């Protein structure tokens, strides 16, 4: 196994442990909504998508998160607005990630959407 692979595995384990250990607040049950969010900044090669996916699953959100060729990350989240906002705020608070811009677009709820996918 190469050095690059070893460091990636160490980073991924750190990210997974951080996401699984994050303290989640109590959320009220509110209306389901769906957002497309474009994140810019230092959001690739830092475990961003992995952490988003781990947290989204813990929060019961559905959707996806994928890297774009220009270095941005595109995500769609479906769930309560409170949980979506918590996930985004949590990601913005991380030191290894630097979100310099985010563009949010509200979408129609997709009743058939299940699971959360890291693309």
> Which tokens belong to 26?
């109590």
d(CA 44, CA 85): 21
Catalytic residue among 9, 49, 96, 98: 49
Identify the bridge partners of residue 118 per DSSP, sorted by sequence position: 65
Catalytic residue among 11, 42, 58, 67: 67
Given a contact cutoff of 8 angstroms between Cβ atoms, the answer to whether 110 and 32 are in contact is no
Our answer to whether residue 67 is catalytic in this structure is: yes
User: Which residue from 67, 79, 86, 69 is spatially nearest to 116, judged by alpha carbons?
Assistant: 79
Given a contact cutoff of 8 angstroms between Cβ atoms, the answer to whether 38 and 82 are in contact is no
Catalytic residue numbers read: 49, 67
């Amino acid at each position: 196994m190469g050095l690059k692979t070893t460091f990636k595995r160490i980073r991924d384990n750190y990210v997974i442990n951080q996401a699984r250990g994050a303290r989640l607040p109590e959320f009220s049950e509110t209306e389901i909504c769906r957002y497309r969010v474009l994140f810019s900044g230092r959001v690739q090669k830092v475990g961003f998508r992995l952490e988003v996916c781990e947290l989204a699953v813990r929060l019961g959100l559905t959707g996806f998160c994928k890297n774009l060729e220009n270095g941005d990350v595109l995500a769609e989240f479906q769930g309560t607005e409170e949980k979506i906002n918590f996930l985004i705020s949590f990601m913005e608070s991380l030191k290894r990630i630097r979100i310099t811009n985010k563009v949010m677009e509200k979408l129609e709820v997709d009743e058939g959407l299940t699971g959360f996918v890291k693309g």
